[in-house]
Amino acid sequence: MKKQTNGPVHADCTAAPQLQRALRVLSGKWKGEILWQLVGGKRRFGELRRAIPDVTQHMLTTQLRDLENEGLVKRTVFPEVPPRVEYEMTPAARDLKPVFDELSRWANAHGRLEPASPDADDDADGRRPGSSDRPAR
């Protein structure tokens, strides 16, 4: 039996663990958006919430804590009444700016990507892989 892999094997396998960790650190529906909002400078929680209207307060708090724990976001609490909290990118996160710039360039160049055609996986004879000649019920 032939062993199958989940993807191509790269010649530089030593980079794979670092890339996997980086992707894990940045994974999360809102982390990229939060970092993108912080590229312009410090933001308060309410400003982030208004800038990302679809995120819930709980999820924004959770994602900010994750980013803070990973060393990408710095949280500063000012001893005022009411308390003022500001978030900003750390130097490590600012190093991601070229990545965001490139993603922005890529998105602008490709516009809205079209979903794959439903016929993209058809065999040469027009049948879907694994389909039979029996009519659908």
Q: Which fold has domain 29-108?
A: Arc Repressor Mutant, subunit A (1.10.10)
Give the pTM.
0.67
State the sign of the Cα–Cα–Cα–Cα dihedral 117, 118, 123, 124: negative
| Better-scored residue on pLDDT, 74 or 132 | 74
d(CA 74, CA 68): 6
For the cut 90, the answer to whether the pLDDT of residue 85 exceeds it is: yes
User: Over the range 4-15, which residues count as b (16 or more CB within 10 Å of their CB) and which as e?
Assistant: eeeeeeeeeeee
| Better-scored residue on pLDDT, 134 or 94 | 94
The string of pLDDT tens digits covering residues 6-19 is 555 555 556 688 78
The string of pLDDT tens digits covering residues 30-75 is 999 999 999 889 999 999 999 999 999 999 999 999 999 999 999 9
C-beta atoms surrounding 49 within 10 Å: 15
